[in-house]
Amino acid sequence: MPDTPETPGPDEPSLEEQIAAYQREFQDLDPQVEKVVSALGRLNRRMNVAYGRQVAALGISNAEWEVLKTLVVSGAPYRLGPGELAKRLGLTPAAMTHRIDRMAGEGLVTRDRDENNRVRVIVELTDEGRAKWLEAMRMASSFEEDLLQDLAPEERTVLGDVLIRLLRRVEDTQPDAGGRLTDLE
């Protein structure tokens, strides 16, 4: 597949300009490595903006979307304690409490005492929260299909495999890179 020029955002240099500037200041830079890493970074930022617009159209924030996803991934009945939610999202317990308060007020989750342990609180996805999650998934799926439309199925497979290898490398060498996972226990 031929290279196509990357379209920079407003007031942002193209990747080629950015790499040339880096090389001017740091001669040991490998331009191939920098092209991959910079492209991944820009792609991630732009995808986050697109996802943010989609969930905003549904009346929820990216932060709320993350909680909904985490509850769904936990499996039916879509319930977790606030501490477990905080750990999975890499948040402090105080930040998680604030997020849960807001979401409970919006009817996206409920927060109740565990019947088996009255000290423990359980956060559960509501029907409204699940409906928002499903609609966000429909929107994201359409966006993602459009994003990958120029890649053949084999290219998608190779790209997915390569990205998983990169992710594993980061997870193996930077175990805390996922957020506050170990210091909350």
* pLDDT tens per residue across span 96-123: 999 999 999 999 999 998 788 778 889 9
Q: Which tokens belong to 166?
A: 């990169």
Residue 30 CA, chain-centre distance (Å), reads 28
* CA–CA gap between residue 70 and residue 58 (Å, rounded): 18
Are the CB atoms for 123 and 111 separated by under 8 Å? Answer: yes
What confidence category does residue 183 fall into, taking pLDDT thresholds of 50, 70 and 90? very low
Are the CB atoms for 86 and 127 separated by under 8 Å? Answer: no
Query: pLDDT tens, 62-99?
Result: 999 999 999 999 999 999 999 999 999 989 989 999 99
Distances (CA, A) of 90 to 95, 104, 132, 176: 10, 20, 22, 10
Query: pLDDT tens, 124-180?
Result: 999 999 999 999 999 999 999 999 999 999 999 999 999 999 989 988 898 776 654
| Residue 90, C-beta contacts closer than 8 angstroms, at least 6 positions apart | 178, 179, 180, 181
The predicted pLDDT at position 12 comes to 85
The predicted pLDDT at position 159 comes to 96
* CA–CA gap between residue 170 and residue 182 (Å, rounded): 16
